[in-house]
Structure 1
Amino acid sequence: MSTDRLEALQYYARKFQRLRVDRAHGVAPHKPILLLSVIESFQRSLIRQNQIELSQQLNQTFLKNWSYLGSARHYPDISRPFFHMKSGKFWHLYANPGFEKVLSAKIKLKTFSEVKKAISHAYLDEDLFDFLQIPSTRESLLTILVRRWFPGQLEDIKKILQTDEFQDPPGYFREAYAMYMERLTEA
């Protein structure tokens, strides 16, 4: 790997380690779980072009990963990290027609339906997109992400990314998931 590519990989490793997360009720795992879900989507060849849509598939992957790694103190909502990941400067949002001003005005979109209505898709810096397509660099970024946000769970998380099965969730998750899915169908 060239020096430039190695420096770029180190740049994204630092970005993954320094995600801006909500800490009001303990560390909110939304952004790390979203990134794990995106990495899993690359691993399964579900993302082939630099467009990450807020799709049912990505949402299911996010909720599955949340069932293993989520927090009882936080609501398992993919829309907020999908929107706020832009603060990392490697995740960019592409507005739906007519919503360009909403994104440029820095209005905070708070609900799944608001995000879905305003945003066509997210896209990554080209270097990061390239890195996530290559198994070895994807593995390196996964390792960095897990060591920072889910220490000691790398082998478990590798297994989680291989399954479609939800963990038999504790009661808080079943209730939150049911409410979330109800909201989703209304959107």
Structure 2
Amino acid sequence: MNELEPYISAFTHLKRGVTKYGLAPHKPILLLTLIELIDKELAPDNRFEVNVDLVGLFQENWRWLVNTAHQPDFTQPFYYLQSDKAKGQPFWKLHPYSGFQINAHIKSVQTLSGTVAYAAFAPELYQLLMIENNRILTKDAILFMYFPEQRAAYYQHKQLADGFYHDLQALVLNDPEVRYKHVSIQTEEDIFIRSGLFKRYIPQLYQDTCAMTGMRMQSTFKYNFIDACHISFLLL
């Protein structure tokens, strides 16, 4: 038997909440996002941190695939995916920081990022997903099962590298390509993504130099001594 088959079976038979809009699409979106992070080499050593890449790609995938009135809450599947199993065992686990416990769904993404050090797949599953062809098969199985009508458009958008997360990065970088686009930032997760991108890219744009004092600080150990912040001036 193909070692991947039990996991594909689990991924296509997820426990999903029943709502007035239909079965919740959150877990399939999260799984697609996790596999995409592996594609992009953004989950080294089986560590999926609650960061702007994870939340940003989740929000982008949601916008391309979900056409119901469900709310795009990343924190729900991140916690509840732990209840799904393959071969009789959970394949997803959260690892809190020392001194913290996670006994319930944490609804705030900011609080979640300060509580969870990382989440991880079962080691066997992660090793299987390190193989590109396995990732292709798994993503396609998820799309066929949950989003068959949006599948072709989803692949097209991914090939073009456009969408919410791409546009938000361009917005932070003041890229002219988003000048005439409307990038809506409404939820706590949207703010979390934008703030994280701002802190990531602005020091790079200013070459680790303080815009107020002109002082430049760099570290041979790749620590970032310059922080990005918004500065407002009050004119009297």
Give the TM-score normalised by the residue count of structure 2: 0.65
Distance 1:143 1:48 in 2: 23
Partner of residue 94, structure 2: 93
Contact 1:53–1:122 under 8 Å retained in 2:
yes
Percent identity of the aligned residues? Answer: 27
- Quickly say closer, same or farther: Cα 1:84–1:135, change in 2 above 3 A: same
**SS of equivalent to 2:186:** helix
Question: Map of 1:136-147 to 2, 5 A cutoff?
Answer: 136-147=133-144
Gaps of 5+ in 1: 169-173
- Quickly say closer, same or farther: Cα 1:184–1:40, change in 2 above 3 A: closer
| Greater relative CO, 1 or 2 (CA 8 Å, sep 6+) | 1
Matched, 1:9 2:9: no
User: Match for 2:83: what amino acid?
Assistant: S
Distance 2:194 2:158 in 1: 26
**Shift in Å, 1:152:** 4.1
Question: Map of 1:54-65 to 2, 5 A cutoff?
Answer: 54-65=50-61
Distance 1:142 1:67 in 2: 17
Question: Map of 1:114-153 to 2, 5 A cutoff?
Answer: 114-153=111-150
- Quickly say closer, same or farther: Cα 1:183–1:46, change in 2 above 3 A: closer
Distance 1:28 1:163 in 2: 27
Report the structure, 1 or 2, having the larger helix content: 1
Gaps of 5+ in 2: 85-89, 168-182, 196-236
Q: 2:187 aligns with which of 179, 184, 187?
A: 179
Larger radius of gyration: 2
Give the TM-score normalised by the residue count of structure 1: 0.80
- Quickly say closer, same or farther: Cα 1:124–1:95, change in 2 above 3 A: same
Per-residue CA deviation, residues 120-141 of structure 1 (Å, 9 max, x unaligned), is 1100011110121111111111
The alignment covers a number of residue pairs equal to 173
**Shift in Å, 1:150:** 0.9
